[in-house]
Structure 1
Amino acid sequence: MQERPTMAPQPSPSRPATPAGPPSAAAYRMLWRWHFYAGLFVMPWLIVLAVTGTLYCFQPQIEPLLYPELLRVAPGPARLPAQALLERARAAAPAGATATTYTVNSAPAASAEFVFRLASGKSESLYLDPYTGDYLGSLSVEDRLMKQVRRLHRALMLGKPGELLMELAACWTLVMIATGLAMWWPHWRERGAAALRLGRGSGARGRWKALHRFLGAWLALGALVFVLSGLPWTASWGRQFKALATAADLGAPRKGAPPRSLPPGGMAAAPGEAAAMPGHEDHAERAEHEGHGGHGGHGDHQAAAAAPAATMESLPLADVPWAAGLAPVPSGQAPRVPSPPADLDRVVAAIAARGIAGGYQLVLPNSPSGVFTASVYPADPTGERTLHLDQYGGQVLRDTGYRDYGPVAKAISYGTSLHMGRYFGLANQILCAAISLGLMALAVSGLLMWLKRRRAGTLGAPALPRAVPPMRAWAVGLGLLGLVFPLMGATLVAVWGLDRLVIARAGRQHGPAGTLRAD
């Protein structure tokens, strides 16, 4: 294995480095050291993200294979009315269950799906043949395979701590990408396009190194897009960023107070009487945009009026566009005389009149002051729509779509669609899978290189140079990264302190500071 030449220390620390030239041995070692720390932390989570992300990317193909008897039907001459299907679903539902969501799917071979909140608080999807009305069976919303895959991908099934851990992993991946590219850049300057080809290494470690460098060069851009498009959905930074974008009118539009649902012959609720919709108050669970069904019931109007205003994230929806997550949901005054809600077919027809024939979820009102809410979340971000409809008359109260988004929300909508492999069909899925599995191979090759270099009983971190170069641009860059991502900033300081106070002292025995082995 070829060794990099030892570089003699320079007498003047102020010697300027050529920006486009190769880094000095000391600077290279510092880049390698931080690349090592970032990779060591990110490695296991990259493997989890790669496997779960690939599986979830192919959800449209996997779920029909897992549950063909529930999701597929033989097309018939005509569908039953939506209201008739809802009544049949209610008849088949367990005692005490409440219908919360209707999935409107116009595909000829698709079954009709209604989500019910059970008395236990969990949710269950009931499937019917839309042509005959026959009950096909049910699936637990929380326990279905793809829900578990998604929980692993976003939070390791650990709740809030897992979400924060995965957010940290995403931020440290940025450090890993940046330092890896900086170490690879001299090869590009020396060899040009040949640096993008898979080289030959001497020995087992040399071959793993060549593969690692090859994968890193090709996957850096894709990994960067993956990280940046996923960060807006994180539990800590993502929610704060969404709130900031919304407040600055760069996300979802702010159109003043949401319109009120009017009871038959009644008056609109005064601003102080606005009621959050019972059954939609479970904000913490809905923040992941994963669940169906909320908590609560019909309650009295005064109790509901004291509840916080409902947002789209609090609704029992499987998916909510990022821009619409913090948008308020209209609510109204309960009628003085009990009145039945609008016929479901009337509501579906009102949505169809707006140009939306299918491919959306419709939240059903479960309180006298609730509204119907349709969430349209297609592969093409320009088709994203959120509609609120009056519970009693079925008329559209608000229709918000991509056209109304701010520039930040529009960019994130495209990033999300690409991240999930939805934007340009199967080719997008294959591309995402290739990047995900390539990142997993990058993590595995890095692990094997570390194990082959590490001495027994040591961490195996690259030795700290005796004369630490200033590397001001990197210090400023990491500082800005820590300011933008405070959680990341705290861990950067912690790692720096641990490195200087503990690891560096223990690692002085690994060789002279000026000698740099190939990695």
Structure 2
Amino acid sequence: MPFIVWLSVTGGIYLFKPQIQALIDRPYNDLALEHHPLPPSALIDAAQRAVPGAVLHRYVLPASENDARQIVVGAGAQQTRVYVHPETGAVLKQVEEQSRFLRLVFHLHGELLAGRWGSMLVELAASWAIVMLLTGLFLWWPRQTSRLAGVLYPRLRRRGRVFWRDMHAVTGVWVSLFAIVLILSGLPWAKNWGSYFNTVRSLTGTASVSQDWSQGSTAEAERRSRLDSGARAALAGNDLRPAGGTVSPAMIDRMIGQAATLGLAPPVELSPPAEGERYWLVKSQAANRPRRSSVEMDPATGRAIGRKDFADGHWIDRTVGYGIALHEGAFLGLANQLFNLLVLVGLVLLSVSSVVLWLRRRPQHRLGAPEPRGDRPRSVLLILAILALVVLVPLFGASLALVVIVERLCLRRWPRARRFLSLRRTAATAR
């Protein structure tokens, strides 16, 4: 329950990333200019000098000519976002990229700021949340009733246990399926599941050239290091002077000027080639991923040589892209954000009401699992759904196997543990 509440709260904050980021950037936008802005290469040079030893990693095309230029420079895996005045070249603000508020929320949500181990805990919590939702629907599904009260709407005038039961059950009926979709669409970010997914795609020959979603802080750091190494080779120093045929300041200005005419969905970034690559990349970072496109730029001529739109990707990448856009509330704009927020509020209400019901029903001096009241008919559909989840999320399958083994071989054979957990006896202990 604490994991579900934590993921719901942090996810609810991240849903409104565009609005929050606009508030953060407001003091640096719509600046009063008296003259034409400096060329991009001069602004890049100012950003690099603000962070000694750093080189250009990304240049963010401004939404307006009067906005401060956001230039990401870095050294190794360490990146800093520098806000530069477009007319004077003065540094208005600089912040370590991974310390930005929304990046912290992102890593709190996906990794608990604990790297791979945190990602594993989140993946386990998400998987078991699906089990709780499925089994909750199975237990509550009305079998012999014609009343809608307490099934599709709560009896708000009732008090005590009935009120909390209705709040829990009715909320679960309405939000469970949407919550499952929300949870599944977030799995591509999980380190363990993402590695499993990539392995399956490699074996089936469906892997894409580059993945458009993060696999955790470790993978991101490796990608930033590759970009830094490639950028240093391309820029040949910190002052953008050409050396050995590398790109010149004039060529960078030309590429940025052409990037602004490509019609990519904002925000748009220009970045040097990563290690092992040749061309500069202009890429849309639109929150709604189906709107994203990327264009390769030849540094020798400053011209675009190839474009890849979302529709050009493999159908698996497109499916994941749609899922992530829905997960982040970006696919349908504000309506998507508000609907996701409603589902998250429902998950919090499910968690709170379950704790209240547990406190009211728990037997004295026990963990609180209520005594079984007869055997419910087995559901083939429920069993198949759990087995499908085992195959889809191997980490969950491993944890489920561990739980079954410990319960059957240890807990049910230990009388005190069996009573504390309200477990049934095994055939061996019954004899």
TM range (shorter): 0.7 to 0.9
| Structure 1: distance between partners of 2:219 and 2:166 | 42
Aligned-partner residue type, residue 339 of structure 1 = T
Helix, strand or coil at the partner of 2:186: helix
1:316 alignment counterpart: none
* Larger proportion of helix: 2
Residue pairs, 1:143-222, within 5 angstroms: 143-186=99-142, 190-192=146-148, 195-200=151-156, 203-222=159-178
Structure-2 change in CA distance of 1:439 and 1:252 (3 Å): same
After the TM superposition, which residues 156-305 of structure 1 pair with which residues of structure 2 at under 5 Å, given as runs?
156-186=112-142, 190-192=146-148, 195-200=151-156, 203-245=159-201, 248=204, 250=206, 252=208, 285=217, 287-288=219-220, 297=229
Q: Tell me the residue number matched to 1:103.
A: 60
Match status 1:487 vs 2:395: yes
Task: Tell me if structure 2 keeps the 8 A contact 1:285–1:291.
Answer: no
Confirm whether residue 117 of structure 1 aligns to residue 78 of structure 2.
Answer: no
Which residue pairs with 1:129 in the alignment?
85
Q: Deviations over 1:276-295 (max 9, x none)?
A: xxxxxxx9746359986658
CA distance in 2 between counterparts of 1:340 and 1:368 reads: 16
User: In the alignment, what sits opposite 1:314?
Assistant: none
The number of equivalent residue pairs is 408
Question: How far has the Cα of 1:194 moved from its partner?
Answer: 7.0
SS of the residue corresponding to residue 191 of structure 1 reads coil
**Partner in structure 1 of residue 14 of structure 2:** 56
Map Cα deviations across residues 338-394 of structure 1 (whole Å, 9 max, x no partner). 433462222123434543274222222487964312221324433221223223322
How far residue 438 of structure 1 moved from its aligned partner, in angstroms, is 2.0
Alpha-carbon separation, structure 1, partners of 2:253 and 2:327: 35
SS at match of 2:120: helix
Aligned 8 A contact 1:54 1:433 in 2: yes
Displacement of 1:152 in angstroms is: 0.8
Residue 328 of structure 1 aligns with which residue? none
CA distance in 2, matches of 1:492, 1:201: 40
Contact kept, 8 Å, 1:450 with 1:460, in 2: the verdict is: yes
Deviations 1:465-493 (A, max 9, x none): 78796655544432332122211111112
1:361 counterpart = 2:269: yes
CA distance in 2, matches of 1:135, 1:378: 26
Structure 2, unpaired ranges of 5+: 234-241, 425-431
**Is 2:227–2:274's contact at 8 Å kept on the other side of the alignment?**
no
Which of 1 and 2 has higher RCO (CA within 8 Å, sep 6+)? 1
1:385-400 mapped onto 2 (5 Å cutoff): 385-400=293-308
Task: Return the offset for 1:165.
Answer: 1.0
Partner of 2:246: 339
C-alpha contact (below 8 Å) 1:52/1:149 kept by paired residues: yes
Residues 101-152 of structure 1 show CA distances to partners (whole Å, capped at 9, x for unaligned) of: 1112324564211112148x52211101234433212111122222211111
Task: Tell me if 1:462 matches 2:346.
Answer: no
2:360 is the counterpart of 1:452: yes
Contact 2:150–2:169 (8 Å) recurs in 1 = no
Q: 1:232 to 1:470 in 2, by over 3 A?
A: same
Counterpart residue identity of residue 153, structure 1: H
Matched residues in 2 for 1:117 and 1:142: separation?
12
Identical aligned residues as a percent: 29
Residue 59 to residue 467, structure 1, CA distance change in 2 (3 Å)? closer
Work out the CA distance in 2 between the residues paired with 1:72 and 1:299: 28
Distance 1:187 1:234 in 2: 37
CA distance in 2, matches of 1:490, 1:169: 13
User: Quick check: 1:141–1:291 contact (8 Å CA) kept in 2?
Assistant: no
Cα distance change of structure 1 residues 214 and 408 upon mapping to structure 2, 3 Å threshold: same
Q: Helix, strand or coil for the counterpart of 1:287? A: helix
Q: Distance in 2 between matches of 1:164 and 1:59?
A: 24
Equivalent position SS for 1:105? coil
Distance 2:232 2:347 in 1: 53
Q: How much does 1:512 deviate? A: 12
Q: What is the aligned partner in structure 2 of residue 374 from structure 1? A: 282
Worse overlay, 428-437 or 471-480: 471-480
Aligned to 2:46: 88
Shift of the 72–359 alpha-carbon distance from structure 1 to 2, 3 Å rule, reads: same
**Distance verdict in 2 for CA 1:384–1:251, change over 3 Å:** farther
Task: Tell me if structure 1 keeps the 8 A contact 2:367–2:421.
Answer: no
User: Cα distance 1:150–1:358, how it changes in 2: closer, same or farther (>3 A)?
Assistant: closer
Q: Partner letter of residue 100 of structure 1?
A: H
User: Runs of 5+ in structure 1 lacking a partner?
Assistant: 1-42, 255-282, 302-334, 514-519
Report deviation, 1:48. 0.8
Higher deviation after alignment, 155-164 or 338-347: 338-347
Amino acid across the alignment from 2:54: A
Q: Distance in 1 between matches of 2:140 and 2:259?
A: 54
**Structure 1 residues 233-271: Cα deviation after superposition (integer angstroms, max 9, x where no partner):** 2211123324534664656369xxxxxxxxxxxxxxxxx
Contact 1:340 1:392 in 2 (8 A): yes
In the superposition, the TM-score normalised over structure 2's length comes to 0.81
SS of 1:416's partner is helix
Counterpart mapping for 1:30-69 below 5 A: 43-66=1-24, 68-69=26-27
> CA 1:497–1:443 in 2, change beyond 3 Å: closer, same or farther?
same
Q: Deviations over 1:77-103 (max 9, x none)?
A: 754432232123233x13212221111
**Alpha carbon RMSD of aligned pairs, Å?**
3.6
